[in-house]
């Protein structure tokens, strides 16, 4: 398992948008813009049960997550989703809404949505313009 350096971790801590790549059933990539969470040791995302990224991860946990702070300053982490849980997922999406929107509560919660957090175990780190 690979570990982010403090400099690399700063991109995950800041309100930088990310793109999550998952694999469809036919093996083709599926990319989705996501908010990313970093607790000092774990990178995670949050989604709704039943959405494409959730279905793809359930079938094949291999993912890549890329954050681009600017065109020549980016980091891409590849690995596997090692855990998904609804425990704490609503609180996580509220924290992410605060981080990305400045809102105390996630504003787009729809009736019937069940949030789930997914933790990424990093196997490989690629970057440009980020000191190691």
Radius of gyration of the chain (CA): 14
Pairing of strands 18-23, 29-34: antiparallel
pTM of the model: 0.92
Answer yes or no: is pLDDT of 70 > 90: no
pLDDT, tens digit, 9 for 90 and up, residues 9-34: 999 999 999 999 999 999 999 999 99
β strands within 17-114, DSSP E: 18-23, 29-34, 37-38, 43-48, 62-70, 73-85
Are 45 and 84 a contacting pair, CB within 8 Å?
A: no
Closest-CA residue to 14 (of 50, 41, 48, 38): 38
CATH code, residues 6-128:
2.30.110.10
């Amino acid at each position: 398992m690979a570990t982010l350096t403090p400099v690399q971790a700063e991109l995950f801590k800041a309100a930088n948008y990310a793109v999550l790549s998952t694999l469809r059933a036919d093996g083709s990539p599926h990319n989705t813009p996501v908010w990313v969470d970093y607790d000092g040791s774990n990178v995670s995302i949050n989604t709704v049960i039943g959405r494409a990224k959730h279905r793809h991860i359930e079938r094949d946990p291999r993912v890549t997550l890329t954050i681009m702070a600017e065109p020549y300053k980016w980091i891409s982490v590849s690995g596997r989703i090692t855990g998904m849980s609804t425990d704490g997922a609503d609180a996580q999406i509220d924290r992410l809404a605060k981080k990305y929107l400045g809102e105390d509560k996630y504003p787009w919660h729809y009736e019937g949505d069940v949030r789930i957090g997914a933790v990424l175990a990093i196997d490989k780190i690629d970057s440009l313009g980020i000191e190691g």
